[in-house]
Structure 1
Amino acid sequence: GINWPLDAKGEPSNRLELITSANGIAHENAHDALADVTALIAVTKLIKQKQPQLYDYLLKMRDKKVVQQLVNVDDKKPFVYASGRYDKEFAKTTVAFPLTTSRNSGVVVYDLRYDPTPFVGLSAEELSAKIFASWEERQAEDFVKLPVKELQYNRCPAVAPLGVLEQGYGWQKISLDLKTVQKHQNILLDNPDFAEKLRTIFENKPAFKKLPDPEAQLYDGFLNDRDRIRVEAVRNADERELADFHPEFQDERLTPLLLHYKARNFPRSLSEDDLAQWETWRAQRLQAQLPQFMASLQRLAPTATDDQQFTLQELQLWAEAIVPTED
């Protein structure tokens, strides 16, 4: 009932604009927030109409108690798990096994596609190094990813009992088989200390650092009603009015955010102090990002064509030109 689109490589795609196009759903101004929400609602209605059982089942996953009945660390059983973190070549789906609890009402699960043998004997320090490896460390040829992830009960995970794979060549579609799943499950059950080490690691996992950039803090919390009124006043003010507008926000994120708003949209509204603060922030941001940007150019260079090499060189010159020199 639903036409699933293919990308340029002939592989199934989850891109919203392709799904809407393949199913005759109006989707003007793709990537506009409101247009995308409207299109997503239309796709959801299509799923409900064409696949009502699937829709009703996944809707139940909003209830974390329903999820806990299937993903239960007190009664461990393998389950089917679809997640954007899993490989595209396996339809983003695997058979996972609940190992132990983690903080924030979650559970650590193991991807039974992979043999646990190389991992169960590792120390807590070695496991932690794999879990918290940086992006650069993960690109090393000898890096072996630890196939575990956190499942959050309260985030509507797409999970299902193992029996769904018995229908319509389910096992073949995800390139797995029951024998492999049972073999890897038994290895985990024979090594309970592996789960215990992971429990300690995840429960003591450092919290995400609060980012200094106010624009990266927008999802840290909602605004109160008083600040909403002040924000609306900012949005309605013109350049001249903004120059003399100094609202007293209760939310500490909003004062620096106002500076960024004025600097980007109404630079002539900035006072000398405002301009100095903005230039200091801009310089620090550019200087902090430059090493990573240059490293990315260097990674791309060995395989680049002549035209691409020219583009990379131009990008390097541009970056060097816009980054202020340190005093």
Structure 2
Amino acid sequence: MSQSFFWYDLETFGRDPRFDRIAQFAGIRTDLDLNIIDDPVELFCRPSPDYLPDPVACTITGITPQHCLEVGMSEADFAERIARELSQPGTCTVGFNSLRFDDEFIRNLFYKNLLDPYAREWQNQNSRWDLLDVVRAFRALRPGDIVWPTTEDGRPSNKLELLSAANGLAHDHAHDAVSDVIATIEVAKRLKQSSPKLFDYAFKLRDKRVVTEMMEQSYGRLLLHVSGRAPAAREHTTLISPICPHPSGQGAWIVADVCAAPQSWWHDDPEVLRSRLYAKAEALGDSPRPPIKVLRANRCPFIATPKVLGERAQTLGIDLAAAESNLNALLALNPTQCLSTVFDDPPHNSSGDVDSRLYGGFIGKRDRAALESVREALLFEPVDVTFDDPRLPELIFRYRAKNAPEMLGEQEMQRWMQHCIDKLNGDKPSNLTLCQFDDILSTLDPTENIAKSLGDYRNALCEHLGL
């Protein structure tokens, strides 16, 4: 089976993958040597009347809902087309900060359109990866001859557009999905050229079996970790150690940053640690946020032996001897039970709007098989089928209403219109209510084309819904 990368990027109408929508999808397939092997894919998705875009997002991307209505696909066709690309056997899907942003939007898109949210990530020797932590690792460990950008005030930055500009790489239009994909591929080429060994090592970490083996062998030992959660002053690089498996037992570990002395943050009451861990910065006061987190094998974490630091340890301000001492002091506190309690998450709330319940449990095999057999037919004719999962009846109703409203009966259409009104009025959870949209729109320059277009769209939508 031939292996390939599918590099992709999204432009969205907001930042919340549960409620916001994708405006633009772009992707390019390359071989593992980063040679383009297929035509670029660019798709737009039509928004539905139960949703208002964030005006700020529109000003960043330049994409209006009217443009998506004019050139876009129905959400069902959009999801199906993306799934076809990402599900090709041997595909490694990769982007720039895609694991934490784009992939979450894709999962939610598939869930709402009755597709398996996860299958494309692992079936048929498929995988996923993210270039952002790879960039961070190169900057920290093997900077080489790459030009590493800074912001206007001199702070280090790994933003894609700055990295591209600093190194003379193609990136014509930042926040255009096609341009961002091309730039990501060019950055990957530059990294691989600079240090093929480090690039290939990072690529192997997309395999959770590799990560699991390393983590299981590292209890009581130091591990180098590169992450956006680590201090920027150390180029997002730190030393961690796994303390115990996550209570869920699902390929995850509770780890501690041992560059920090435990006496500076430890408390033997798990509720105190939990409150400090999730508190807003202003609420912490002088109390440090506990340097603990969950490391997940399926998130392509960059971990390595501390030996790879070499002389860079001094440059980064990492003291291995102090970290070893901190680890021993932490282990002497017998932290396992306390930290397990801190991260013993309650199950996802089974109430709330169905749009937000992707992580409310896997859809069972019987229901999944039934969905696969009737999904297309749902848009053309009534289908008599029962499901075990209580989320599915409402998901199916919204799927039909968004993608084939002409197939709704009179009562169903009334129900759909009321649903749209409830979303915009805030009677159901949503990204933005109509009032919030108006407040944000009022901060934009009314003479700008984007602001005018958004105002026109808002008025047309309100007229359609009778608001």
Give yes or no for contact 2:147–2:166 (8 Å, CA) kept in 1.
yes
Q: Deviations over 1:73-115 (max 9, x none)?
A: 6642111101112222221111111111102211111111211
Partner-residue secondary structure (3-state), 1:71: helix
Partner-residue secondary structure (3-state), 2:165: helix
Using the TM superposition, give the Cα deviation of residue 160 of structure 1 relative to its aligned residue in structure 2, in angstroms.
1.4
Residue-pair matches, total: 275
Q: Does 1:180 pair with 2:326?
A: no
Q: Could you say which structure has the greater relative contact order, defined with CA pairs below 8 angstroms and 6 or more residues apart?
A: 2
Match of 1:31 in 2: 175
Q: Does 1:274 pair with 2:416?
A: yes
For 1:155-234, list aligned pairs within 5 A: 155-167=299-311, 169-173=312-316, 175-192=317-334, 194-202=335-343, 204-209=344-349, 212-213=352-353, 216=356, 229=376
Query: Given the superposition, is the C-alpha separation of residues 260 and 229 from structure 1 closer, same or farther in structure 2, using an over 3 Å criterion?
Result: closer
Partner-residue secondary structure (3-state), 1:163: helix
Match of 1:110 in 2: 256
Match of 2:12 in 1: none
Match of 1:124 in 2: 270
Using the TM superposition, give the Cα deviation of residue 190 of structure 1 relative to its aligned residue in structure 2, in angstroms.
1.3
Give yes or no for contact 1:214–1:257 (8 Å, CA) kept in 2.
no
Gaps of 5+ in 1: 234-244, 264-269, 298-309, 312-327
Query: Given the superposition, is the C-alpha separation of residues 212 and 30 from structure 1 closer, same or farther in structure 2, using an over 3 Å criterion?
Result: farther
The code of the aligned residue for 1:206 comes to P
Using the TM superposition, give the Cα deviation of residue 215 of structure 1 relative to its aligned residue in structure 2, in angstroms.
5.3
Identity %: 28
The code of the aligned residue for 2:222 comes to P
Q: Does 1:44 pair with 2:185?
A: no
Give yes or no for contact 1:73–1:99 (8 Å, CA) kept in 2.
no
Using the TM superposition, give the Cα deviation of residue 210 of structure 1 relative to its aligned residue in structure 2, in angstroms.
5.9
Give yes or no for contact 2:219–2:241 (8 Å, CA) kept in 1.
no
| Cα separation, 1, equivalents of 2:252 and 2:149 | 33
| Cα separation, 2, equivalents of 1:43 and 1:230 | 43
Query: Given the superposition, is the C-alpha separation of residues 189 and 272 from structure 1 closer, same or farther in structure 2, using an over 3 Å criterion?
Result: closer
Q: Deviations over 1:154-174 (max 9, x none)?
A: 32111111112223x33332x
| Cα separation, 1, equivalents of 2:351 and 2:159 | 29
Q: Does 1:92 pair with 2:243?
A: no
| Cα separation, 2, equivalents of 1:44 and 1:288 | 37
Match of 1:317 in 2: none
Give yes or no for contact 1:120–1:191 (8 Å, CA) kept in 2.
no
Q: Deviations over 1:148-207 (max 9, x none)?
A: 01111232111111112223x33332x221232122112012112x122212432x3123
The code of the aligned residue for 2:339 comes to L
| Cα separation, 1, equivalents of 2:231 and 2:375 | 42
| Cα separation, 1, equivalents of 2:350 and 2:152 | 39
Larger Rg: 1
Using the TM superposition, give the Cα deviation of residue 49 of structure 1 relative to its aligned residue in structure 2, in angstroms.
1.8
* TM-score (norm: length of structure 2): 0.50
Superposed CA RMSD: 4.0
Match of 1:266 in 2: none
Partner-residue secondary structure (3-state), 1:40: helix
Match of 1:82 among 226, 245, 258: 226
Using the TM superposition, give the Cα deviation of residue 288 of structure 1 relative to its aligned residue in structure 2, in angstroms.
8.5
| Cα separation, 2, equivalents of 1:288 and 1:58 | 38
| Cα separation, 2, equivalents of 1:144 and 1:125 | 15
For 1:4-23, list aligned pairs within 5 A: 4-23=148-167
Partner-residue secondary structure (3-state), 1:154: helix
* TM-score (norm: length of structure 1): 0.68
Partner-residue secondary structure (3-state), 1:139: helix
Using the TM superposition, give the Cα deviation of residue 217 of structure 1 relative to its aligned residue in structure 2, in angstroms.
5.6
Give yes or no for contact 1:73–1:100 (8 Å, CA) kept in 2.
no
Query: Given the superposition, is the C-alpha separation of residues 181 and 45 from structure 1 closer, same or farther in structure 2, using an over 3 Å criterion?
Result: same
Q: Deviations over 1:22-57 (max 9, x none)?
A: 233323443233443333233222211222011011
Higher helix share: 1
Partner-residue secondary structure (3-state), 2:298: coil
Query: Given the superposition, is the C-alpha separation of residues 216 and 43 from structure 1 closer, same or farther in structure 2, using an over 3 Å criterion?
Result: farther
The code of the aligned residue for 1:205 comes to D
